[in-house]
């Protein structure tokens, strides 16, 4: 059983983004869910506050007091890079606006300059679980859940003789009210940490455009 539990994980085949209510519950609505296969990278960096360090010397110059307090885990810093510009996904990730100059395809406008506050989104992704060079026969994917990512902002992008890859960055936090996720498919285990993952046999279907997030 230990070998089955310890499969290597590679790549990321789908990302699902859901809008949140102020209390962290996934928010029902026609424009509140998105499933994409355009993820290039999602970089997650733990952020800690160093514990206080106390040191005192005696009159002879020897260390008389030496103490290092424990470090505190604060959050994750998250950076997301996409392979393509997708107006509706960019809106979910940054708070900008979808432009709809019908009959031509939709475009995107950056958030207005100034202070922007949001309720955050939840971000899920699906990685491959590998067994001897192939997908695990029973649970081929790992379902990762980041139940609240806030303060997302647009990142650098370069107009050049190269791909223009949109980028977004923010902070991942704990969310006690994410429960079983936006589509009720997170199993009955912990979902309130800054991240968690479980093996799964399913992979969501990516599509271009918003999906409706139904009320639980």
- Considering just the CA atoms, what is the radius of gyration of the chain in Å? 21
Query: Interior CA angle at 155 toward 149 and 156, to 5°?
Result: 160
pLDDT of residue 2: 47
Residues 53, 59, 62, 67, Cα dihedral to 10° = -20
Q: How many residues does the chain have?
A: 216
> Structure pTM?
0.92
The domain ranges of the chain are 2-47+76-210
Q: Which of 140, 137, 124 is nearest to 199 (CA)?
A: 140
pLDDT of residue 79: 97
pLDDT of residue 4: 82
> Both tokens of residue 204?
């969501």
pLDDT of residue 194: 98
pLDDT of residue 1: 45
Task: Look at strands 63-68 and 53-57 and give their pairing.
Answer: antiparallel
pLDDT of residue 89: 97
Instruction: Per-residue pLDDT tens, the chain, 216 aa: give them.
Output: 447 889 999 999 999 999 999 999 999 999 999 999 999 999 999 999 999 999 999 999 999 999 999 999 999 999 999 999 999 999 999 988 999 998 999 999 999 998 677 899 999 999 999 999 999 999 999 999 999 999 999 998 889 999 999 999 999 999 999 999 999 999 999 999 999 999 999 999 999 999 999 987
> Both tokens of residue 86?
């997708």
pLDDT of residue 216: 72
pLDDT of residue 34: 97
């Amino acid at each position: 059983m230990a070998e089955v539990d310890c499969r290597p994980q590679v790549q990321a085949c789908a990302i699902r983004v859901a809008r949140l209510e102020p209390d962290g519950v996934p928010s029902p609505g026609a424009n509140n869910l998105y499933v994409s296969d355009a993820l290039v990278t999602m970089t997650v960096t733990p952020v800690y506050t160093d514990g206080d360090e106390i040191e005192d010397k005696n009159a002879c110059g020897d260390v008389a007091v030496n103490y290092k307090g424990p470090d505190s885990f604060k959050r994750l810093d998250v950076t997301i890079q996409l392979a393509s510009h997708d107006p509706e996904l960019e809106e979910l990730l940054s708070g900008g606006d979808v432009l709809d100059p019908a009959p031509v395809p939709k475009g995107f406008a950056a958030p207005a300059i100034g202070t922007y506050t949001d309720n955050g989104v939840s971000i899920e992704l699906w990685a491959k679980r590998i067994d001897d060079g192939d997908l695990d026969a029973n649970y081929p994917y790992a379902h990762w859940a980041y139940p609240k990512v806030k303060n997302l902002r647009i990142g650098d992008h370069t107009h050049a003789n190269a791909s223009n890859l949109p980028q977004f960055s923010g902070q991942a936090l704990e969310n006690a009210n994410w429960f079983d996720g936006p589509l009720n498919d997170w199993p009955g285990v912990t979902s309130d940490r800054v991240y968690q993952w479980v093996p799964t046999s399913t992979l969501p279907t990516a599509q271009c455009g918003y999906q409706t997030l139904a009320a639980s």
